[in-house]
Chains A and B, each alone.
Chain A
Amino acid sequence: EDQVTQSPEALRLQEGESSSLNCSYTVSGLRGLFWYRQDPGKGPEFLFTLYSAGEEKEKERLKATLTKKESFLHITAPKPEDSATYLCAVQGGNTPLVFGKGTRLSVIA
């Protein structure tokens, strides 16, 4: 059974304080790992798709990396507007997308 575990559950950072969010997964035949951002009262917003170990993708202050067992979302010099819940999901074989519970990020000015 595909599983996704995200840590920490919540993270509080000062503005400019870089950090990383972790997504550990077990999946049979990874087809893709997805990162989404979700603001309160809104649907998830797509950030990245990673397909194979060693792959990296960047967007503004965010960089996502992938190994065979986990993915990291690195946030460099975060701003208050980066505050949100970040969701990780995996797609394996012919199975549905499986989501983690998310990491709730708060960036304090």
Chain B
Amino acid sequence: SAVISQKPSRDICQRGTSLTIQCQVDSQVTMMFWYRQQPGQSLTLIATANQGSEATYESGFVIDKFPISRPNLTFSTLTVSNMSPEDSSIYLCSVARGGAQETQYFGPGTRLLVL
């Protein structure tokens, strides 16, 4: 398993602003992912954070809206840009030690409310 922390744990933001969420792992991991969990919905993968290169985004998610950084093997950030109330959600970081098909372990999540 892995010990994963996220900052902030929750935030309330005004529309039009941006928020950067941090994800820190206690040891080096191969894969880091960012998910969104909207109320009553399943977890949806936003993107895979690649170390040293641009993130790989899933259909419906774009870099301008959700820029991601991964400067090393233990840390990643997700920015939610130009926020609207529809961005209110829980944002989760997950990691896998092996390849993309290994078991993923999740952080505690960041609860975001956009007014």
Contact = CB atoms under 8 A, between A and B. Distances in A.
B42 A34 contact: no
A97 interface: yes
Given A43-B108, A46-B1, A101 B58 contact: no
B109 A99 contact: no
Contacts of B103: 32, 34, 46, 49
Contact of B101 (A4, A32, A44): A32
Interface of B: 1, 4, 40-45, 48, 58, 92, 94, 100-101, 103-109, 111
26 contacts: A31-B101, A32-B101, A34-B103, A36-B106, A41-B109, A43-B94, A43-B106, A43-B109, A44-B92, A44-B106, A46-B1, A46-B103, A46-B104, A46-B105, A49-B103, A87-B43, A89-B43, A91-B101, A96-B45, A96-B48, A96-B58, A99-B43, A100-B42, A101-B40, A101-B41, A101-B42
Given A42-B108, A96-B100, A97-B104, 17 more contacts: A32-B101, A41-B109, A41-B111, A42-B109, A43-B92, A43-B107, A43-B109, A44-B43, A44-B106, A46-B1, A46-B103, A46-B104, A87-B42, A87-B43, A89-B43, A94-B100, A96-B45
